[in-house]
Each structure stands twice: as C-alpha cells, then as structure tokens.
Amino acid sequence: MLDSYQRKINYARFSITDLCNLRCLYCMPEEGVTKQNCGDILRIEDFITIARVLVAMGVDKIRLTGGEPLVRKGLLALVEELGSWPELKDLSLTTNGLLLPRLGEDLKKAGLKRVNISLDTLDPEKYKYITRFGDLAKVLDGIDTALSLFAKVKLNTVLIKGFNDNEIESFVDLTRRLPVDVRFIELMPFKGQSQFAFGTYLSGDEVLRRCPELKPLEADDPSAPASLYAYEGALGRVGIIRPMSCKFCEHCNRIRISADGRLLTCLHACEEVNLRPYLQDQEALRQIITEAVAKKPQEHHLMEGQLQERDMGKIGG
C-alpha cells in the first residue's frame, strides 16, 4: 500500500480504548475523557475486521494503544486472533505498565511479541504529579514483568523541560544494566494540552549534550522514528525521537485507527475518515482506506501552529 509520495504504508496503530487508569498532564484532561456509549466505540470484532483488511493491503505491523489498552475488555481475545495471523510480522503494545504483572503472561501466550512502557520520571513524587495520582513502584514491577517475558522492551520517556531534564543521565544509565531501549521523545503540543506544552519543549539533542559518550548505531529500520545510540558494552540502547526539531515524515509508514473508528493518516492532521459505515462491506472498507492513504499529508505542520484537536489519549499516538 503506497501513498501519493510513494511511502510504503505497512504499520497500523489501533487505539482500542480512549480510557486510561492515569491522567498524564500532556495527554489527558484532569477529569479524564468523557465515557462514550458502548455503541460509539469499536467492538473487538470491528478491530479484527479492519485489521484483516489492512493486512490484506500490506500492513504487517500492528501496535495496540489507548488510552491504556490493558483496561480494555476483550484485549486478550484480540491479541490471540491477531497473533495467529502468519502475515502479521509484528504485534506490539504500548502501555503505562501498571497492569502488566497481572496480564503480561497471558498476553505473551496469546501472541504479543513486545511492549513499550511509558515512563517519564524515576522519582516517585514526580511520577505522581505528572500522572496526577500514579504509583511508580507499580510501573517498575510492570517493567520487571516485561523483561521476564518479552525479548524486546522499550521505555518511552517524553522530554519535558524543567521536569525530567535532570534525569536524562539516570534514564540513559538504565541501558548499561538492562536490555531495554530507552527512547526520549520530544514533547508534541496538542490543542487540549497546549498550555502544558508551552515552555516545556526540550530538543532531543539535549540527551547527546548530557551524555557525550553515546555512540551512534545503525538504524534497525529506515522508517523507524528513533535515532539509535549506545554506551560501549551496554546491554540496552538509547533512542531519540525528534518530531519537532527534525521531522521524519518523509519515511512515515503508519496510519492510526481511533477507538471510535476514525482513520488518521497522520498523528497531527485534522482530517479523519469514519470507517464505521463500511465495516459490513470489506471491499468498501478497502476502498475508503485506499482513498484516505492517497491523501496522507507529506508532513505535519506543528511548528506552524497546526495542532491536533483531539487529546493524545483519544488518538493513541
């Protein structure tokens, strides 16, 4: 599946719920999202239908996100179904890690191949602040669980000026003793949380300034957004994702499906396509996806102030 710029689109991210058991400041409003009626959210069967069409169109990589995907009823059934498809080379999940000690083993047995865990601070009080009430100890238990089950574990750390920039070295040091990829992600503004983002942006280059001994590595995949680095002899790696300071749009290979059935061909584009009317007709579904992918924008325009209307938690970034 190619877009109009000849980019091969083979990666889909499914936000299977917009609900979450945390309220991260840059992701969700304090009161959380307004709970929608069951009929407004895609059923697990609907996600399977969309996935089947996408895989037939060339998608071979699916990531499950939220909100927090581990709170979604039916998650294990979805993973078991997708995990049984030989055409799907990679099935992964992004989580805050809180529920991994309880669900991790079942997810692995169902066919999940790897996990990304969101973690923006190693300080318990700061973690409680940024998530509004989270318990860091539970996330650390989740990381231990993931390391015991999955061959690939990544930690996603959003760089926030004045909040966790003094912890960069501590996060990088985790890679010396743990087989994890610690990925620093530049903070991206969304309209709903733009006040938080204002003045807290920090370039990914700050990681290299603070940790000059990091050596660049060859990328695993040209379409992957992270530039990779490592300390000599370290068990893990450091990734830097620079959506603001260094656009990687020219290699973008992904699309997103929101929990309410909207197709987004760019995380930051305001155009969405409602797939719900086409769920009973796979050929019509294929056609509407083809048309949407053909209109995938060449790049985002965050620096020009074009902000996504939805909160990050509703999109499943």
What range does the domain containing 91 cover?
11-315
Q: pLDDT of 281-317, one tens digit each?
A: 999 999 999 999 999 999 876 655 555 565 555 566 5
Asked if residue 57 belongs to a domain, the reply is yes
Q: pLDDT of 179-237, one tens digit each?
A: 999 999 998 775 554 555 567 889 999 999 999 999 999 988 888 999 999 999 999 99
Asked if residue 3 belongs to a domain, the reply is no
Asked if residue 115 belongs to a domain, the reply is yes
Asked if residue 214 belongs to a domain, the reply is yes
238: number of Cβ within 10 Å: 27
Q: pLDDT of 133-170, one tens digit each?
A: 999 999 999 999 999 999 999 999 999 999 999 999 99
Residue 21 confidence (pLDDT) above 70: yes
In 3D space, the residue among 187, 191, 309, 193 whose CA is nearest the CA of residue 258 turns out to be 309
Residue 132's pLDDT is 93
The model carries a pTM of 0.92
Asked if residue 4 belongs to a domain, the reply is no
At 32, which CATH number?
3.20.20.70
Query: Coil, strand or helix: which one is 149?
Result: helix
* Structural domain total, the chain: 1
Asked if residue 5 belongs to a domain, the reply is no
Asked if residue 237 belongs to a domain, the reply is yes
